[in-house]
Structure 1
Amino acid sequence: MSEAVETQDQDAEVGGIAADRLRSIIERVERLEEERKALADDIKDIFAEAKSAGFEVKVIRQIIRIRKQEPAEVEEQETLLDLYRRALGM
């Protein structure tokens, strides 16, 4: 009976690594990667829908990026952009 317990302990911990814990972590990451791919596919479909509706996808991506920023940061960038345009006579 003690041999069976030793075999279970060896299966659960190999080289100081808890195999069950490691397997659990790897499986959770794999599941999340699958979810991320599914979400990326959904986002791609939404952009395709926007394009087919006549929207400019490049501009939509730009708006999304801007909305993630702090208002002060956006204002600073817009001010600099305006300054640079005026400096170039645009």
Structure 2
Amino acid sequence: MELQQYVDRIEQLNGEMDGIRADIREVFANAKAEGFSAKAIREVIKLKKMPAADRAELEFEVQKYKELLCL
């Protein structure tokens, strides 16, 4: 494959990513219009990506810290 082909493909993929980012922004805007928190949705998505054991450990530690700080 020639250099120009690599550059062209990368540019094409970057364009696709721009479109996907715009779609994601639109979905967040729609969710917000329905009364959902974009910040909370982002956090839930982040947690869903984590393995269950890591998520459980994090939730346990956060709860422990909240109790220590009387939150």
Is the pair's TM-score, using the shorter chain for normalization, greater than 0.5? yes
Instruction: Describe the SS at the equivalent of 1:36.
Output: helix
Identify the structure with the greater strand proportion: 1
Match of 2:17 in 1: 36
Deviation (angstroms), 1:67: 0.4
State how far apart, in whole Å, the 1-side matches of 2:69 and 2:29 are. Answer: 35
Question: Which whole-Å CA distance do the structure 2 matches of 1:82 and 1:53 have between them?
Answer: 29
For 1:61 and 1:21, the matched residues in 2 are separated by 39
Query: Aligned partners of 2:53, 2:23: CA distance in 1, in Å?
Result: 31
1:77 pairs with 55, 58, 70, which one?
58
**Using the alignment, how far apart are the partners of 2:67 and 2:15 within structure 1?**
48
Shift of 1:85: 1.0
Q: Among all aligned residue pairs of Structure 1 and Structure 2, give the percentage whose two residues are the same amino acid.
A: 32
Q: Which runs of 5+ in 1 are unaligned?
A: 1-19
Q: Which amino acid aligns with 1:32?
A: L
Distance (Å, rounded) in 2 between the aligned partners of 1:48 and 1:85: 31
> How many residue pairs get matched?
71
Whose RCO is larger (CA < 8 A, sep 6+)?
A: 2
CA distance in 2, matches of 1:49, 1:83: 35
Q: What secondary structure, in the 3-state scheme, does the structure 2 residue paired with 1:55 have? A: coil
Corresponding letter in the other structure for 1:66: L
Larger Rg belongs to: 1
